[in-house]
Amino acid sequence: MSTPNQIGLDPISAAGLAAAGLEGRLVTASSAEFDEFAAAVDRGFLGERPSAERVAGRRARFGDNHAVAVYDPASSSPWLPIGTLIAWPMEVTVDAGSFLPMWAISAVTVSATHRRHGIARHLLEGELRQASAAGLPLAGLTVSEATIYGRFGFGVATHAANLTINARRAGWAAWRPELGQGSGHVDPIEPETLAADLATLNETTRGRRPGDVAGWPALWQELSGTSPGKPDPRVRGVRYVDAQGAVRGALAYLLEPDAADFSNHRLRVNALLADTSQAYAALWLFALEHDLVGTVSASLRGLDEPLRWMIADQRALTVTERDHHWLRILDVPACLSARRYRCAGTAVLEVEDPLGFAAGAWRLTVDADGAATVERVQHPGSGGERVRLTVAALGSLLLGGVRASTLRAAGQLDGSAAAASWLDVAFLPVAAPVLSYWY
Ligand SMILES: CC(C)(COP(=O)(O)OP(=O)(O)OC[C@H]1O[C@@H](n2cnc3c(N)ncnc32)[C@H](O)[C@@H]1OP(=O)(O)O)[C@@H](O)C(=O)NCCC(=O)NCCS
């Protein structure tokens, strides 16, 4: 696989931009152009002009990532990028213990002065072509709006649950982990230790459920309030240490006051990572039973969060759900054969992909052990039930975040009820896919 800085600017996109009088260029973190590039990204996301420290932080964070800037030479400020995109390879879990390299696309912005002239399309299609040519089977995005990326073949693979818990009402119905001498304990930690704990726990736990990804140092800094140039001194941290002294969980959180009632703070969870069920219970209990806290909130949690079944009053929990992680399949055999399936069988998937990467008929054959073989089929009529779907719908199925029968009922998948039922069982995930971060 190519490294990000070996992936160049897509020539077709560059030509398309040039035909529109624009210039696409790769920007490196060490270049002088990077300052305005970083400012353009913040401007694109409606933020303020970044401080020199923040730009320095971004520079350190981007490292050798692949960054594309678009310039308008006819502008009166031709040095200001009017389009930006950053991408890098990231490992995503597709099934317990199974991973795929994904081209993670981020910082897609087009200046409000140049919107709707096809600049984002040039950038995105170019990234997909470059990623595919470099052998990456998958691209991914976390998105600001749900209506932009379907047209490029991205499908919602992971929904996120945002939890709000009335801490006074919730109670606790599950077993209580033993805390204290000779047992596990919850300890306060310094922000730098918190960042390190989150990184270690991500590494030990990310292979357990689909949708999780390998984190990166700047993410842990952000969640622990230690980002260079943008520290957040409000962030606190605790860790759960088991009876043997091993760190099994960490919680990064903020306490937000209620101006009218000091006893009614909101405890906002920035990150809660747990390696064991004891750690998970101990950290949630810590949050729910915190003095002077009336509400606990946590975003980007799994749809099947065990917490619901641990509190005594489920009506104390309000859950809102949202699309979060969008995946774009570029290589059907590589993606489908990377995971395991829950029952043997076969189906022919006829995939529509206007950009071509995944287009065609593919026979998915699952053996008795749940391993799959995927082959291109020249005559879709032969062997196995036929199912038609878009590449975006296949991206939604990949991690098992939605049932094929649901997509069929929604008109997103065309095939028999029997074929959809087989896919339902075959694609069952070990747990609901989750991604607890933005990238
Ligand atoms: C979203 C954004 C990148 C779009 O850039 P753009 O150059 O105006 O987009 P394009 O002109 O290339 O549009 C490509 C297609 O996407 C559609 N599209 C673009 N922005 C859209 C939006 N916000 N909602 C729905 N559709 C959108 C266009 O209508 C067009 O569709 P079509 O080609 O099928 O007719 C730009 O508006 C922006 O920077 N927004 C603020 C930052 C942001 O939200 N970035 C996305 C990060 S995930």
Q: Measured from the CB, is residue 144 less than 6 Å from ligand 1?
A: yes
- Collapsing DSSP to helix, strand or coil, 237 comes out as strand
Amino acid at 185: H
Per-residue pLDDT tens digits of the chain, which is 439 residues long: 556 657 899 999 999 999 999 999 999 988 999 999 999 999 999 999 999 988 988 888 887 789 999 999 999 999 999 999 999 999 999 999 999 999 999 999 999 999 999 999 999 999 999 999 999 999 999 999 999 999 999 999 999 999 999 999 999 999 999 998 889 999 999 999 999 999 999 999 999 999 999 999 999 999 999 998 889 999 999 999 999 999 999 999 999 999 999 999 999 999 999 999 999 999 999 999 999 999 999 999 999 999 999 999 999 999 999 999 999 999 999 999 999 999 999 999 999 999 999 999 999 999 999 999 999 998 766 677 999 999 999 999 999 999 999 999 999 999 999 999 999 999 999 999 999 999 9
Copy the structure tokens of residue 36: 């305005």
| Cα separation, 329 vs 439, whole angstroms | 18
Sequence ranges of the domains in the chain: 4-153, 161-322, 331-426
pLDDT attached to residue 64: 79
CA of 37 to the centre of ligand 1 (A): 19
Ligand 1 pocket mutation pick from 148, 149, 355, 439 by most atoms within 8 angstroms of CB:
148
Copy the structure tokens of residue 196: 């390190």
| Cα separation, 134 vs 112, whole angstroms | 32
With residue 392 as reference, give the H or E element that holds it: helix 391-398
Nearest ligand 1 atom, CA 115: 8
pLDDT attached to residue 382: 66
Copy the structure tokens of residue 180: 């204290």
Contact partners, residue 352, CB within 8 Å, separation at least 6:
359, 388, 389, 390, 391
Q: Which CATH number fits domain 161-322: 3.30.450.40, 3.40.630.30, 3.30.1360.200, 1.10.260.40?
A: 3.40.630.30
Question: Which CATH fold topology does 331-426 show?
Answer: Nonspecific Lipid-transfer Protein; Chain A (3.30.1050)
Q: Which residue has a Cα nearest atom 16 of ligand 1?
A: 148
pLDDT attached to residue 378: 87
pLDDT attached to residue 2: 55
As a whole number of Å, the end-to-end CA separation of the chain is 21
Nearest ligand 1 atom, CA 119: 7
Contact predicate 348/365, CB 8 Å? no
| Cα separation, 335 vs 100, whole angstroms | 7
Beta strands in 124-274 (DSSP E): 138-142, 155-166, 185-189, 236-241, 247-258, 261-274
| Cα separation, 283 vs 276, whole angstroms | 11
Centroid of chain to Cα 373: 27
| Cα separation, 320 vs 288, whole angstroms | 19
pLDDT attached to residue 381: 66
CA of 82 to the centre of ligand 1 (A): 13
| Cα separation, 108 vs 326, whole angstroms | 14
Count other C-beta atoms under 10 Å from residue 334's C-beta.
Answer: 16
pLDDT attached to residue 380: 61
| Cα separation, 53 vs 343, whole angstroms | 53
DSSP for 143-172, written as a single string: -S-TTSSGGGT-EEEEEEEEEEEEHHHH--
Strand duo 345-352 + 385-390: pairing = parallel
Which residue in this structure is represented by tokens 């995939």? 351
- Collapsing DSSP to helix, strand or coil, 418 comes out as helix
Nearest ligand 1 atom, CA 141: 48
| Cα separation, 285 vs 254, whole angstroms | 16
Facing residues of 261 across strands?
258
Q: Measured from the CB, is residue 119 less than 6 Å from ligand 1?
A: yes
Which residue in this structure is represented by tokens 């390998």? 214
Q: CA dist 227 to 152, 236, 359, Å?
A: 33, 14, 42
Can you identify the CATH homologous superfamily of domain 4-153? Answer: Gcn5-related N-acetyltransferase (GNAT) (3.40.630.30)
Q: Which residue has a Cα nearest atom 23 of ligand 1?
A: 148
pLDDT attached to residue 345: 96
Q: CA dist 129 to 67, 71, 88, 123, Å?
A: 15, 21, 14, 10
Q: Which residue has a Cα nearest atom 17 of ligand 1?
A: 148
| Cα separation, 18 vs 14, whole angstroms | 6
| Cα separation, 154 vs 324, whole angstroms | 12
Q: Measured from the CB, is residue 29 less than 6 Å from ligand 1?
A: no
Contact predicate 50/39, CB 8 Å? yes
Domains 4-153 and 331-426 share a fold: no
Ligand 1 pocket mutation pick from 22, 46, 68, 116 by most atoms within 8 angstroms of CB:
116
